[in-house]
């Protein structure tokens, strides 16, 4: 059974940093694109970042570009999101997702597998 488990969320002050992890089990995703999304209360789930299977191509939402870095370690079947210079508007539940394709996309409907999410709260 495929399972994605996020970790690393928490409460941090504005300007601080967090590193999220997404551990995959049940199968290898080394040939698939992966992504991070987030959902704030009362808002739609939105794209944050995506990465190609070997990690050579990365894509970011404009709102996080220059502050967040997506990466993956296929040997560990794990993806990461390093979040720096956090802002209160980054507060949300963060989800990792896998797309059964080598092409990263920003549309959440293109992703088949999802984790349960991890809460990130940034205080001002």
* Contact (CB, 8 A) for 65 and 72: no
pLDDT of 27 reads 85
DSSP annotation of 33: E
Q: Which positions of the chain have pLDDT values less than 70?
A: none
| Dihedral sign of CA atoms 96, 102, 105, 107 in order | negative
Residue 1 pLDDT: 76
pLDDT in tens, 90-102: 999 999 999 999 9
| Residue found under tokens 């409907």 | 109
pLDDT at residue number 16: 98
Q: What is the pLDDT of residue 33?
A: 97
Tell me what pLDDT residue 28 has: 85
């Amino acid at each position: 059974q495929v399972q994605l488990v996020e970790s690393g969320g928490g409460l941090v002050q504005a300007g601080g940093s967090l590193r999220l992890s997404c551990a995959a089990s049940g199968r290898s995703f080394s040939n698939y694109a992966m992504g991070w999304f987030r959902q704030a209360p009362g808002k739609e789930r939105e794209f944050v970042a995506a990465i190609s299977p070997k990690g050579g191509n990365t894509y970011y939402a404009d709102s996080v570009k220059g502050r967040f870095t997506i990466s993956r370690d296929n040997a560990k079947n794990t993806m990461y999101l390093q979040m720096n210079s956090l802002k209160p508007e980054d507060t949300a539940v963060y989800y990792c997702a896998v797309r059964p394709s080598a092409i990263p996309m920003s549309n959440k409907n293109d992703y088949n597998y999802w984790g349960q999410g991890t809460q990130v709260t940034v205080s001002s």
